[in-house]
């Protein structure tokens, strides 16, 4: 008989099964695989739920209303006590969904949450939502430059935690499949670079994969969406990866953060090409040679760079080996969860240790 759950995990997947959030749901699934978890993911109460959610967030800015308002999410009562309540939010606007959970704080010995994306210049704009964070013992974020100002704003401990990856899912294997996708540009792109890559692929007879749809579309199954992405990246030679929100200077200001693309591309053994952030969080997590081969965002000088890399198979092999090994050894979600357990002083379960032992075995297979 399995042990009772010790972690109550609050997810947004019940109301927002969107492309941009599948990364978060992969983290949640990985936590559930290595710990004793009850996952709670309420959906909207009615078909207009998303509209109400947006209206409530917009109307509530600058007031204290959002601390108590439930933005159209089905109410759920927490019935038993848990050593740890852990909530994953993509944005500050997700925070009012906590008001749908009755008794979550009273029945949690510790409460920790992760906010993936929160830019320092937005702290004033989301003051009402962020006030909800004062009920947590610790707040985590993937935006390192936001840590100090957020801690000052809410009066609670705030820590930086790097993004991660389901490294076994993205692991290309001891005998990787053929890298039949020559170049992959996922998501954001600069028109000049995109045009140059189109010209390059046509003139060289290369397969250039890129998005033709725009918008944050819903997915049928977040896990399958991540599985498909992993399978595509295992078959990708060059992967375009840039700093987070690279083309959204108005949204991020001068702040630079590490985007998710770096973790995905490295774990799958691609050769990453792009414009990484020149910040400590990037250099600490990708501190090996050629982790990203630099190409300025907006540059059209792709032909000489890609031709040079194509003609140097030994360099490409070194890059792929280092990317995969470091991902297995350092960037799996189990490493991030282990860090959170240390911060909360909860012991790791045997299932976490078993996963990390498997990662070590996979890393040893790489030559």
Three-class secondary structure assignment of 181-204: EEEEECCCCCHHHHHHHHHHHHHH
Are 220 and 320 within one domain?
yes
Question: Does residue 234 surpass a pLDDT of 60?
Answer: yes
The tens digit of pLDDT for each residue in 143-201 reads 999 999 999 999 999 999 999 999 999 999 988 999 999 999 999 999 999 999 999 99
Provide the pLDDT confidence category of residue 248 given band limits of 50, 70 and 90: confident
Residue 250 has a pLDDT of 83
CA 272 – CA 261 distance, rounded (Å): 9
Q: Provide the β-strand partners of residue 159.
A: 140
Are 189 and 80 within one domain?
no
Residue 205 has a pLDDT of 97
Rounded to 5°, angle at Cα 244 from 206 and 290: 55
Report the pLDDT averaged over residues 261-286. Answer: 98
Report the pLDDT averaged over residues 346-358. Answer: 98
Give the range of the structural domain holding residue 105, as residue numbers without chain letter. 7-164+332-360
Question: Does residue 291 surpass a pLDDT of 90?
Answer: yes
Are 204 and 305 within one domain?
yes
Are 89 and 58 within one domain?
yes
Choose between 2 and 201: higher pLDDT: 201
CATH code (residue 292): 3.40.50.2000
Are 196 and 217 within one domain?
yes
Identify whether 246 is part of a domain.
yes
Are 229 and 89 within one domain?
no
Provide the pLDDT confidence category of residue 32 given band limits of 50, 70 and 90: very high
Residue 71 has a pLDDT of 83
Are 228 and 131 within one domain?
no
DSSP type of residue 146? G
Are 149 and 175 within one domain?
no
> If you average pLDDT over every residue of the chain, what do you get?
95
Return all residues near 286 (Cβ < 8 A) that are at least 6 apart: 258, 262, 266, 276, 292, 326
Are 326 and 186 within one domain?
yes
Question: Does residue 63 surpass a pLDDT of 80?
Answer: no
Residue 247 has a pLDDT of 87
Are 206 and 324 within one domain?
yes
Provide the pLDDT confidence category of residue 67 given band limits of 50, 70 and 90: low
Residue 249 has a pLDDT of 79
| Ramachandran assignment for 90, one of left (phi > 0), alpha (psi -120 to 50 degrees), beta (any other) | alpha
Identify whether 365 is part of a domain.
no
Return all residues near 162 (Cβ < 8 A) that are at least 6 apart: 142, 258, 281, 284, 285, 331, 336
Residue 294 has a pLDDT of 98
Question: Does residue 239 surpass a pLDDT of 60?
Answer: yes
Question: Does residue 1 surpass a pLDDT of 70?
Answer: no
3-state secondary structure of 169: helix
Return all residues near 3 (Cβ < 8 A) that are at least 6 apart: 36
Cα dihedral value 307, 313, 318, 320, nearest 10: 70
Identify whether 2 is part of a domain.
no
b vs e for 16-31, b when ≥16 Cβ sit within 10 Å of the residue's Cβ? bbbbbbbbbbbbbbbb
Identify whether 171 is part of a domain.
yes
Identify whether 75 is part of a domain.
yes
Provide the domain count of the chain.
Answer: 2
Residue 65 has a pLDDT of 60
Sign of CA dihedral 175, 180, 185, 187: negative
Residue 64 has a pLDDT of 63
DSSP type of residue 73? B
CATH code (residue 132): 3.40.50
Identify whether 180 is part of a domain.
yes
Provide the pLDDT confidence category of residue 360 given band limits of 50, 70 and 90: very high
Q: In which order are the strands placed within the sheet that holds 208-210?
A: 208-210, 181-185, 236-240, 271-274, 293-294
Identify whether 127 is part of a domain.
yes
Are 112 and 183 within one domain?
no
Identify whether 367 is part of a domain.
no
Nearest to 186 by CA among 217, 162, 212: 212
Are 210 and 145 within one domain?
no
Contact 138, 112 (CB under 8 A): yes
């Amino acid at each position: 008989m399995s042990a009772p759950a010790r972690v109550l995990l609050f997810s947004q997947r019940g109301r927002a099964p969107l492309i941009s959030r599948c990364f978060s749901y992969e983290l949640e699934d990985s936590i559930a695989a290595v710990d004793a978890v009850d996952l709670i993911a309420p959906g909207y109460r009615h078909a207009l739920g998303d509209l109400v959610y947006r209206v409530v967030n917009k109307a509530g800015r600058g007031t204290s209303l959002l601390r108590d308002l439930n933005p159209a999410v089905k109410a759920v009562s927490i019935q038993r006590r848990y050593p740890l309540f852990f909530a994953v939010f993509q944005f500050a606007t997700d925070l009012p969904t906590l008001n749908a959970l009755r008794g979550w704080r009273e029945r949690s010995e510790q409460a920790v949450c992760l906010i993936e994306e929160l830019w320092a210049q937005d702290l004033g704009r989301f003051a009402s939502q962020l006030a909800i964070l004062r009920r947590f013992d610790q707040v985590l974020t993937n935006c390192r430059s936001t840590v100090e100002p957020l801690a000052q704003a809410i009066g609670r401990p705030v820590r930086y935690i790097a993004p991660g990856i389901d490294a076994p899912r993205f692991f290309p294997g001891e005998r990787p499949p053929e890298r039949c996708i020559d170049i992959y540009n996922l998501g954001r792109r600069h028109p000049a670079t995109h045009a140059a890559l189109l010209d390059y692929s046509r003139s060289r007879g290369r397969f250039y994969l890129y998005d033709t749809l725009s918008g944050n579309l819903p997915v049928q199954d977040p896990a399958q969406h991540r599985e498909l992405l992993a399978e595509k990246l295992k078959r990708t030679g060059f992967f375009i990866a840039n700093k987070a929100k690279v083309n959204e200077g108005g949204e991020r200001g001068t702040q630079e953060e590490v985007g998710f693309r770096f973790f995905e591309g490295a774990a799958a053994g691609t050769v990453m090409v792009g414009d990484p952030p020149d910040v400590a969080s990037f250099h600490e997590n990708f501190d090996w040679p050629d982790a990203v081969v630099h190409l300025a965002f907006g540059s059209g000088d792709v032909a000489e760079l890609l031709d040079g890399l194509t003609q140097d198979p030994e360099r490409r092999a070194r890059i792929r080996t280092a990317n995969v090994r470091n991902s297995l050894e350092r960037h799996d979600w189990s490493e991030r969860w282990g860090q959170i357990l240390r911060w909360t002083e909860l012991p790791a379960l045997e299932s976490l240790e078993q996963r990390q032992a498997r990662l070590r075995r996979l890393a040893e297979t790489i030559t």
